[in-house]
Amino acid sequence: MGIPDKAIQEADINRWASGMEEFMEDRETILEIKHLQTSFLTSSGKVKAVRDVSFSLKKGEVLGIVGESGSGKTVTSLSVIRLLAGTGVIEGGEILFDGKDLAKVSMKEMRTIRGDRIAMVFQDPMTSLNPLIPVGKQITEMIEEHNRGMSKAQLKEEALKLLKLVHIPEAEKRFSSYPHEFSGGMRQRVMIAIALACKPDILIADEPTTALDVTIQDQILKLLNQLREEMDMSIIFITHDLGVVAEVCDRVVVMYGGRIMEEGPVEAIFERPSHPYTQGLMASVPDISLDKNVRLVSIPGSPPDMLNPPAGCPFVLRCAYGRNICNAKVPPVTEIGEGHCSYCWLLTPEAPKENNPYK
Amino acid sequence: MTKDDSIMLEVRNLVKHFPVKGKKKEVVHAVEGVSFRVKKGETFGLVGESGCGKSTCARTIIRIYEPTSGQIFLKGEDISHMKEAQLHPFRKNMQMIFQDPYACLNARMTVHDIIAEPLRAHKVCSSRGEIHDRVYDMLEKVGLSREHANRYAHEFSGGQRQRIGVARALILKPELILCDEPISALDVSIQAQVVNMLKDFQDELGLTYLFIAHDLSMVRYVSDNIGVMYLGQMVEICEANEIYAHPLHPYTRDCWRLFRFLRPPRQSRKRRVPLRGIFPAPFIRPPAAASIHAVNARSRSAVNANRP
């Protein structure tokens, strides 16, 4: 419990020195999601938010999930910690963590895992803290929940350590402050402190910097990176900012319409994006040197209606290369490089050569 | 002042203070002496952190807020202290696009009524038929269709709502559009659509934009000139490419350095020096000098003494 000791830190430095890539290969898989399907039952029908999503997370890895709103990235992570709204149901698939299938464990058992082993930082630091409770209390609450029998003094000490860990100046003074007395960046740090309270194995960060300014975003990203190095945590980083992904993630999963479009190591995704959607996303962000007279490449249309998603590839309606088969059948997976997969019909061996950027 | 026809908007020493509740003498210095010029047909980008006063600045220019002092010239006419009745004809010439496409459209009005409201307020159309025609025409221009006219705002996606916001701003054929973070709330793939649309309108109608955003790569792409605001003051104004290549003010330099441009992963993992500190809290009394000194790691005491 508490802050990592010095031995771990030294081991950490050594492992960083020995090269990240080698290190990643022989790491164990900590979380594995297989064919996850999550839906919401609404008055107008079933919203299939996540449809057949599979990926895995290794120890100490930062996995980025990229996609636009409604692509199912947040629902995927909420399924992992079983915090779906009342109408949300996991309809199929497995979430394997520590020998258990989280999709099937009881809520009581889930409570011992959530917060303690898997913690989450939510998108909006303004609304996810309780405005009526001092931040110190909100942190100790979390520690107490998972460590019954700790004395009040011990709890406070732990909470202060956490506040210092996330670089909140004058932690003692701030301990009894209320959330409204903090700025957005500071609140996000408190959120991170709460999430780290029990030294989780996995931290899910859902757009942790979207609501923040560049300068504060920079501080938060550095903090997360430092914590990953010090605590050997695995992080699932949900965002739509590709610039942030390029900097912090080891591997990326690109989601659209509740399905995975492309998955691979971050270098591969950026150097050789192999799905029309990923390419479209990258082209929509103006490059620093882009001539102002050149029009931005935009993806026409808008995301699919998840009440009646297309039977095949969800991106087909906005894709410049869409064909009949894309509309009818879900594309199979094609391996492009090591650990780099794309779900697109254009990449299959049978795909015709005309109007095909990949052949 | 000599009348210069090429200048669309000129702001001189604009100041806006907000009173603090409960404390009679204290004020929040939201905008503290901002001056700039925007030429006809150009886009002026305004960047800065949240709370630096860029939105207040735009809202004061369009006279949603009364300026505390300073002058605002719209095509050479001083509108900063005009009475509402005098100002009315000028309002037709400047319109605003708001940040939040969810909050800025009245949920109880149909799209037709939302877009027609400015026409009615300024009594530009003589008949109902003319209003219909102009609304339908505008809807098609922003990439929506006639069938959308009788729907309500909640039936649209974020990108479509922003198109409705643009249609409402353009219906009076204004020359100056103040865009207050028009794309911040939209998804990446939709942002490009809206930016392209705004650029097309500019080419077609010769519009002048004041473009507020915090996405620096987008601002650089759309703007001719960029102004960087910090704590209510304009710390640097420069040509868009130049400000990126040779930022002069330390704050600007830090901003560009810290912003995550889209670059290949290897390049972007270079070490960055963090900008230290938090900025001077609710700046009721902002630091006398270049306010940046609280944040800037390189500041020297000399900067503290006088405001550049």
**A180-209 pLDDT, tens digit each:** 888 888 888 899 899 988 889 999 999 888
Q: What is the pLDDT of residue B276?
A: 43
Hey, are the CB atoms on B214 and A247 less than 8 Å from each other? no
Beta bridge partners of B264: none
Q: What is the pLDDT of residue B27?
A: 84
Is residue A351 a contact partner of residue A342, using CB atoms and an 8 Å limit? no
Query: Region B138-163: what's the mean pLDDT?
Result: 88
CA separation for the pair B247, B234 (Å, rounded): 14
Confidence grade of residue A26 (pLDDT, cut at 50, 70, 90): low
Of A270, A284, A265, the closest CA to residue A339 belongs to A265
Of B53, B89, B44, B49, the closest CA to residue B215 belongs to B49
Residues in B touching A222 (Cβ below 8 Å): 272, 274
Query: So where are chain B's domains?
Result: 7-93+176-264, 101-173
Q: Count contacts between A and B (CB, < 8 Å).
A: 119
CA separation for the pair A192, A208 (Å, rounded): 9
Hey, are the CB atoms on B217 and A285 less than 8 Å from each other? yes
CA separation for the pair A342, A252 (Å, rounded): 12
Place of tokens 């102004």: B227
Hey, are the CB atoms on B221 and A296 less than 8 Å from each other? yes
Percent of chain A having pLDDT more than 90? 43
List the structure tokens of A104: 């099937």
**Nearest-by-CA chain A residue for B253:** A215
B173: closest CA of chain A, how far (Å)? 24
A333: closest CA of chain B, how far (Å)? 24
Q: What is the pLDDT of residue A118?
A: 94
Query: Region B248-273: what's the mean pLDDT?
Result: 63
Which of A213, A243, A270 lies nearest to residue B260, judging by beta carbons?
A: A243
Q: What is the full DSSP assignment across A208-276?
A: TTTTS-HHHHHHHHHHHHHHHHHHT-EEEEEES-HHHHHHH-SEEEEEETTEEEEEEEHHHHHHS--SH
Residues in A touching B255 (Cβ below 8 Å): 214-215
Mutation for A interface: B161, B189, B203, B242, most A CBs within 10 A:
B189
- Describe the crossing of helices B111-121 and B128-141 by its angle, rounded to 10 degrees: 120
Q: Is the pTM of this model over 0.80?
A: no
Confidence grade of residue B262 (pLDDT, cut at 50, 70, 90): low
**Nearest-by-CA chain B residue for A220:** B274
Residues in A touching B218 (Cβ below 8 Å): 286
- Say yes or no to pLDDT of B39 above 60: yes
- Say yes or no to pLDDT of A17 above 70: no
The dihedral built from the CA positions of residue A75, A311, A64 and A236, taken in this order, carries a sign that is positive
Q: What is the pLDDT of residue B274?
A: 41
Query: Region A81-101: what's the mean pLDDT?
Result: 91
Q: Give the contacts of B44 (CB within 8 A, at least 6 positions apart).
A: B9, B36, B38, B208, B209, B210, B211, B223, B224, B225, B226, B227
Mutation for B interface: A68, A126, A214, A226, most B CBs within 10 A:
A214
B80: closest CA of chain A, how far (Å)? 31
For residue A26, what is the DSSP state?
T
What is the per-residue pLDDT across B182-208, written as a single tens digit (0 to 9) for each? Answer: 888 788 888 888 899 999 999 999 999
Note whether A247 contacts B: Cβ–Cβ < 8 A. yes
Percent of chain B having pLDDT more than 90? 40
Confidence grade of residue A44 (pLDDT, cut at 50, 70, 90): confident
Q: Residues of B232-245 as b/e, b for ≥16 C-beta within 10 angstroms? A: bbbbbbbebbebbe
User: Rounded to 5 degrees, what are φ and ψ at A254?
Assistant: -100, 120
CA separation for the pair A289, B262 (Å, rounded): 11
- Say yes or no to pLDDT of A129 above 60: yes
Between A23-27, A82-86, A331-335, B269-273, the lowest mean confidence (pLDDT) is in B269-273
CA separation for the pair A184, A207 (Å, rounded): 13
ipTM for this model? 0.72
Of A281, A251, A279, the closest CA to residue A266 belongs to A251
CA separation for the pair A281, A241 (Å, rounded): 10
State how beta strands B225-230 and A202-206 pair: unpaired
A314: closest CA of chain B, how far (Å)? 15
- Say yes or no to pLDDT of B151 above 60: yes
Note whether A244 contacts B: Cβ–Cβ < 8 A. yes
- Say yes or no to pLDDT of A125 above 60: yes
List the structure tokens of A186: 């500071």
Note whether A297 contacts B: Cβ–Cβ < 8 A. yes
What is the per-residue pLDDT across B110-148, written as a single tens digit (0 to 9) for each? Answer: 999 999 999 999 998 889 999 999 999 999 989 888 888
**Nearest-by-CA chain B residue for A277:** B189
CA separation for the pair A128, B18 (Å, rounded): 29
CA separation for the pair B303, B294 (Å, rounded): 11
Of B202, B230, B197, B233, the closest CA to residue B214 belongs to B230
Q: What is the pLDDT of residue A117?
A: 92
Between A267-271, A293-297, A314-318, B198-202, the lowest mean confidence (pLDDT) is in A293-297
CATH 3.40.50.300 fits B7-93+176-264, yes or no: yes
**Nearest-by-CA chain B residue for A300:** B193
Residues in A touching B191 (Cβ below 8 Å): 284
